[in-house]
Structure 1
């Protein structure tokens, strides 16, 4: 990726992928929370132990969120390799052009606190 600051353009390496994700899972209702919470947002339980999960998964849905006074924000639903579904942001994923089932890898946290994923490059084998 090329970054231009107005003074001098330079090459910027993309952030390396994460090896695992850390999240809280409610013991009572199995809700997954990526932000630090004292109470479960669904059942208000205080039993939220930290767990680790894989940082890879596949896109399984798209959600458009609109709030009064703000523009539309598009989030994606990613199913991690262990079966947990996560609402997150996916960078460089044009809506309508990203196929369901596309493989993604976690690269960090978005400014709003949601997990940030990147679409993995497609490796195609040429057959003759």
Structure 2
């Protein structure tokens, strides 16, 4: 089984997003230790949720390389959420353009490559070959 180009790109994007979230959780941990959080309990919960998201993205990256449909669909959900977050950040004044552009561009690249992967691997799936709407 040979990996497709879009699948490899999608896995790299998902993996890098997972690493970025892990780094953000470390930054949150240091901020919590420095006393920058208004509530220690909510700070710990946020760090835990961020680590869960990072682990999910890394698992999706490995799953995409293994041609797992759950990984592709989960990755698509994360990319859509990233694009939505990027668009929502446009309402902040002053607009954090670096955040908006980086998150938006990475989200679009991830979404496009994951959809291309779904289309390519769906075309190669023998379970879907020879089926038409007349068969039902």
Q: Answer whether TM exceeds 0.5 for this pair.
A: no
Larger Rg: 2
More strand by share: 1
More contact order relative to length (CA 8 Å, sep ≥ 6): 2
Name the structure with the higher helix share: 2
TM-score by length of 2: 0.28
Q: TM-score, normalised by structure 1?
A: 0.29
